[in-house]
Amino acid sequence: MTAKPGLKWETDRPEFLGRFGLARFIRSAGVLSLSSVASFVRAVITAKLFAVTLGPSAVGILAQLLNFAAFVSVIIPLGLTTGVAKMVADNSRNEQNMNRVVLTSAVLAIGSACAAAILLAPAAGPISYALTGSTSYGFLIVLIVASFPLYNLSGVIGYVLQGIADVDRLTKANVATTVLAIVVLVPLTLAYGLAGAISAVLVTSFVQAGIFAWALRRAYAARAWRFVHATLDRHTAKELLAYGGIVLIGGIVSWSSVLVVRTLTLRELGESANGLYQVVFGLSNQYVTMFMTWMAAYVFPRIVTERLGGKLGPLLNSGLRANLAIMVPIFVVAIALRDPLIRVFYSASFTGAAPMVPIQVIGDLVRVFGWSFAVCLFAIGRTRSHLLVVAGQGIAWVILAAALIPVWGMLAVPASYAMSFLVYPLLGISLTHHWGGAAPDRKAWLLMSLGLTCVLGATFIPFDGGLLLAPAVPALVYWWNRSELRTARTPLHE
């Protein structure tokens, strides 16, 4: 059928009705997931390299030093993450404003990291003693501290790329960094052992900063932008730091909740139980990281730019559809094949973790329900509501775990995790409706019910039969989208 003159076709748009197109959503999610896959491969190679090259004692020291780096890296960015992406997305059509946000956030990131390095480097000896019981690793602490400024800069550039929704360049930068990090790490570790492994951290900071700076330069060139006449702006800095404070508090609460619950598990149930839950938590973390990556880099920027004009509801509902079409099959496979997956990625001695997997997955499913809507709270400027959702889950997990672990034992850990994530849909959806006027539509509720049914079915159907449920949600979403696409082909008078 050909459009008549004077008529406008809604399907002429890349994504009709102001929604996320399913095909484009899945493509973007798939591209962004490559970063997580590359990180997983890097983790496997790194673990094997350290185990063979360093031995248990040195690996223990290395873990302590890297944990210190990870902890400090949560604080020194000052929360310049989602706030940078939001402000970039808000100003993505104004080159001068973009330059101001990019320069101001970069200066803040480098400045905070340099300040941290100046404070921490003189205390390297005492820090080494606190972490390892020896001051002999002080120089390695200095190497780690020296890497902070460029890692911080790379992080800001990554969130700038997220803000302009440059999915391809962001993914290429992440994958290239991962590959080159391995190229740097292997020879240095083989040649110099523990010192080489830590030196690789510093060298990789230069590599990553160079790759991300090049990606940003190419993104500017593709938009015919030039990074000229950029100025530092006090108002922009205050706004960035205000957003950053919310993100920083949320991140501290989230990381603290994990640390507290894992410590409770270790003390109440012992090292073995904590080790078994690590299998469950590790599996969960792999696919949750992928989900959160595409929500931050693809969904969030579009919500920021199209949140007005009544588009928020259709955007969030179509985003939920796409998320469930991708995630429910992953959840079903994780549950149905939990035994063989544990044997392949760990060993037969860890199969005691299998009963915990379905419980953890239910929590992750509920997380997808809630975050598909709550993701907009930061985008529409409701930062305190955003913090309430994120911090509420972390606090709930700690309280529930403390109450249930002595009673239920090991199953209480994933059970408290799953129950804590009820905060996401209960608070997230209600606050989104209150502040943004958007709520799940009838089809969204049906789809969430079907997703939960598939996950529960995969848990109880024997002999891997639950795999038959994997296509149910994607099939329904595809059918609905095709039906709505046919309806949208009705010509509209301009």
Structure tokens at 30: 């798939």
pLDDT(14) > 50:
no
* Helix residue spans in 346-465 (DSSP H): 357-374, 376-379, 383-408, 412-420, 423, 430-436, 442-460
pLDDT(124) > 60:
yes
Residue carrying structure tokens 């410590």: 263
Say what the pLDDT of residue 464 is: 84
The 10s digit of each residue's pLDDT in 353-395 is 899 999 999 999 999 999 999 999 998 889 999 999 999 999 9
The 10s digit of each residue's pLDDT in 410-431 is 999 999 999 999 999 999 999 9
Say what the pLDDT of residue 201 is: 93
Which residue from 294, 301, 304 is spatially nearest to 163, judged by alpha carbons?
301
The torsion of the CA quartet 151, 81, 20, 32, rounded to 10 degrees, works out to 20
Give the separation between CA 69 and CA 9, rounded to whole angstroms: 54
pLDDT(8) > 50:
no
The answer to whether the beta carbons of residues 10 and 493 sit under 8 Å apart is: no
> Which carries the bigger pLDDT value, residue 1 or residue 463?
463
Residue type, 60: G
The 10s digit of each residue's pLDDT in 223-271 is 888 887 778 888 999 988 988 888 888 888 887 888 788 888 888 888 7
Structure tokens at 370: 């809630």
Find all residues with CB under 8 Å of 189, minimum gap 6, and list them: 49, 50, 53, 54, 196, 197, 200
Which string of DSSP letters, residue by residue, matches 9-36?
-GGGSSSGGGS--HHHHHHHHHHHHHHH
Structure tokens at 24: 């484009």
Residue 488 pLDDT class (50, 70, 90 cuts): low
Find all residues with CB under 8 Å of 305, minimum gap 6, and list them: 89, 90, 92
Residue type, 112: S
Give the separation between CA 259 and CA 437, rounded to whole angstroms: 36
Q: What share of the chain is helix, strand, coil (3-state, %, to 5)?
A: 85, 0, 15
The answer to whether the beta carbons of residues 374 and 430 sit under 8 Å apart is: no
* Helix residue spans in 54-94 (DSSP H): 55-75, 82-90
Rg (CA), the chain: 24
Give the separation between CA 184 and CA 298, rounded to whole angstroms: 30
